[in-house]
């Protein structure tokens, strides 16, 4: 995009590396390389760009393309064989780290009624967003959580967790979101299988929703000192109800429409230290303005259809499709051609950006705040 010519112009300004190759320098670089060292000016402009240069590309994963392949995995491997029966989303710019975008992983997991995967724990933080099927459950540290379509569930890092589908249910597909690439980049990843393979359920089913799930109310004996939300499950109905109530009285943001963050009810902060999530509603006819910010974002269309323009590329999406917005990519969403509202679930590494002081945001100034789209 326009940035490229601007960048190459700026790369020649004072204060930026600009050293022509000579035979003497080439020999010098070789000598340094043999000492496991290098001259900074050969890499400076690359490792300190003027602004973020994401290796990730915007991608739309269409559910109608992926679904049959996800279901085929049921015939091909058992959960016992595979550990997790998952088709993961592989960004063409991030294949080496198995990321869907930036440092975030995502995959589609499928389970048949009566199946369960063994309990495990890892350093990566995880979430699940239920796409289809009935009878799905997750057990997190002895708390059993029953899950329905568009429910969002946390399995924070370090917790024992396992997933399954009750025998009375139907085949279930859900989206997994984890910070595996980030944890690996930090070289901090541990993984353990539960000694009993299956956890004991040590609390009443859905107890944490009963304790922490009431809007505007806080339990008197609500002591919780973990670094993640005690509300492991965020159900679809109250989420959609909250959005429609909000939309009734507010225009929301020109860039995001009516957006609500899933929060930790103890402190109003993000649900986990490294991954945050939101649900946004785009009203019929709504068209947001383009902006960009740091952070990597994975969207799933929870309801409706519409389109997004990401770094100048147009993506038409419909219910259950997944798409990503790389860091510092301009993006805008449109529900302009529908008579119903559209809802986008999104998870991101925004909590990392905020807690490390790396968050930046910029509105598109040109062209009335809209990108010129191709594709
Ligand atoms: O269920 O915790 O898609 O550990 C990838 C790695 C899901 C999980 C994935 C995992 C999980």
Which domain CATH number covers 269? 2.60.120.10
Examine residue 45 and state whether it is found in any structural domain, yes or no: no
Nearest to 88 by CA among 185, 178, 187, 191: 178
CA of residue 148 to ligand 1 center, whole Å: 19
Q: What is the pLDDT of residue 194?
A: 94
Q: Is 272 in the pocket of ligand 1 (CB under 6 A)?
A: no
64 and 36 in a common domain: no
Nearest to 195 by CA among 118, 81, 142: 118
Cα 148 → chain centroid: 20
- The number of distinct structural domains making up the chain is 2
| Residue 25 backbone dihedrals phi, psi, to 5 degrees | -70, -40
Q: What is the pLDDT of residue 12?
A: 57
pTM score: 0.94
Nearest to 281 by CA among 330, 325, 346, 361: 346
239 and 147 in a common domain: yes
Q: Is 189 in the pocket of ligand 1 (CB under 6 A)?
A: no
User: Whose Cα sits closest to atom 9 in ligand 1?
Assistant: 176
CA of residue 176 to ligand 1 center, whole Å: 7
Examine residue 54 and state whether it is found in any structural domain, yes or no: no
Mutate to test the pocket of ligand 1, among 66, 70, 82, 84 (most ligand atoms within 8 A of CB): 84
Q: Is 85 in the pocket of ligand 1 (CB under 6 A)?
A: no
Looking at the DSSP bridge assignments, the partners of residue 129 are 152, 175
Q: What is the pLDDT of residue 10?
A: 52
Examine residue 18 and state whether it is found in any structural domain, yes or no: yes
Examine residue 49 and state whether it is found in any structural domain, yes or no: no
Alpha carbon distance 349, 180 (integer Å) = 12
Atom of ligand 1 nearest to the CA of 106: 3
158 and 107 in a common domain: yes
Write out the chain's pLDDT in tens, 375 residues: 444 444 455 555 677 889 999 999 999 999 999 999 999 999 999 999 999 999 999 999 999 999 999 999 999 999 888 889 999 999 999 999 999 999 999 999 999 999 998 999 999 999 999 999 999 999 999 999 999 999 999 999 999 999 999 999 999 999 999 999 999 999 999 999 999 989 999 999 999 999 999 989 999 987 899 999 999 999 999 999 999 999 999 999 999 999 999 999 999 999 999 999 999 999 999 999 999 999 999 999 999 999 999 999 999 999 999 999 999 999 999 998 889 999 999 999 999 999 999 999 999 999 999 999 987
Examine residue 193 and state whether it is found in any structural domain, yes or no: yes
303 and 236 in a common domain: yes
12 and 65 in a common domain: no
Q: Are 258 and 280 in contact (CB under 8 A)?
A: yes
Alpha carbon distance 2, 64 (integer Å) = 34
95 and 36 in a common domain: no
The domain containing residue 292 runs over which residues?
60-369
32 and 112 in a common domain: no
87 and 26 in a common domain: no
Q: Is 327 in the pocket of ligand 1 (CB under 6 A)?
A: no
Examine residue 342 and state whether it is found in any structural domain, yes or no: yes
Alpha carbon distance 362, 367 (integer Å) = 15
Examine residue 162 and state whether it is found in any structural domain, yes or no: yes
Atom of ligand 1 nearest to the CA of 191: 4
309 and 278 in a common domain: yes
Q: What is the pLDDT of residue 374?
A: 85
79 and 148 in a common domain: yes
CA of residue 19 to ligand 1 center, whole Å: 47
Examine residue 283 and state whether it is found in any structural domain, yes or no: yes
66 and 17 in a common domain: no
- What are the helix and strand counts (H, E) for the chain? 9, 22
Sign of CA dihedral 208, 260, 157, 176: positive
Strand order in the sheet with 313-318: 313-318, 305-310, 331-334, 291-293, 361-363
33 and 131 in a common domain: no
- To which H or E segment does residue 45 belong? helix 44-47
């Amino acid at each position: 995009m326009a940035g490229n010519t601007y960048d190459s112009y700026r790369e020649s300004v004072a204060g930026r590396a600009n050293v022509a190759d000579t035979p003497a320098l080439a020999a010098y670089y070789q000598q340094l390389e043999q000492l496991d060292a290098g001259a900074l000016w050969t890499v400076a402009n690359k490792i300190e760009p003027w602004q973020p240069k994401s290796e990730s590309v915007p991608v739309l994963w269409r559910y109608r393309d992926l679904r049959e392949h996800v279901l085929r995995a049921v015939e091909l491997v058992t959960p016992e064989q595979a550990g997790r029966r998952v088709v993961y989303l592989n960004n063409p710019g991030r294949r080496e780290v198995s990321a869907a975008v930036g440092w975030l992983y995502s995959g589609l997991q499928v389970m048949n009624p009566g199946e369960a995967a063994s309990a495990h724990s890892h350093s990566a933080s995880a979430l699940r967003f239920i796409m289809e099927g009935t009878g799905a459950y997750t057990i997190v540290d002895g708390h059993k959580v029953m899950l329905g379509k568009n429910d969002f569930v946390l399995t924070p890092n370090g917790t024992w967790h396992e997933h399954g589908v009750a025998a009375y249910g139907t085949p279930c597909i859900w989206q997994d979101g984890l910070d595996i690439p980030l944890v690996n980049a930090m070289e901090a990843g541990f993984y353990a299988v539960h000694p009993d393979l299956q956890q004991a359920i040590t609390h009443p089913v859905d107890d944490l929703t009963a304790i922490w799930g009431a809007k505007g109310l806080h339990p008197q004996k609500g002591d919780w000192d973990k670094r993640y939300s005690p509300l492991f499950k965020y159900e679809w109905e109250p989420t959609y109800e909250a959005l429609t109530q909000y939309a009734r009285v507010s225009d929301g943001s020109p860039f995001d429409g009516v957006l609500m963050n899933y929060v930790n009810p103890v402190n109003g902060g993000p649900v986990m230290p490294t991954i945050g999530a939101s649900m946004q509603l785009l009203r019929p006819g709504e068209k947001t303005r383009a902006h960009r910010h740091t952070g990597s974002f994975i969207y799933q269309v929870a309801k409706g259809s519409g389109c997004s323009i990401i770094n100048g590329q147009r993506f038409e999406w419909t219910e259950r499709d997944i798409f990503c917005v790389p860091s510092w990519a301009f993006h805008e969403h449109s529900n302009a051609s529908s008579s119903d509202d559209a809802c986008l679930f999104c998870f991101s590494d925004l909590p990392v950006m905020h807690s490390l002081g790396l968050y930046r945001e910029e509105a598109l100034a040109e062209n009335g705040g809209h990108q010129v789209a191709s594709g």
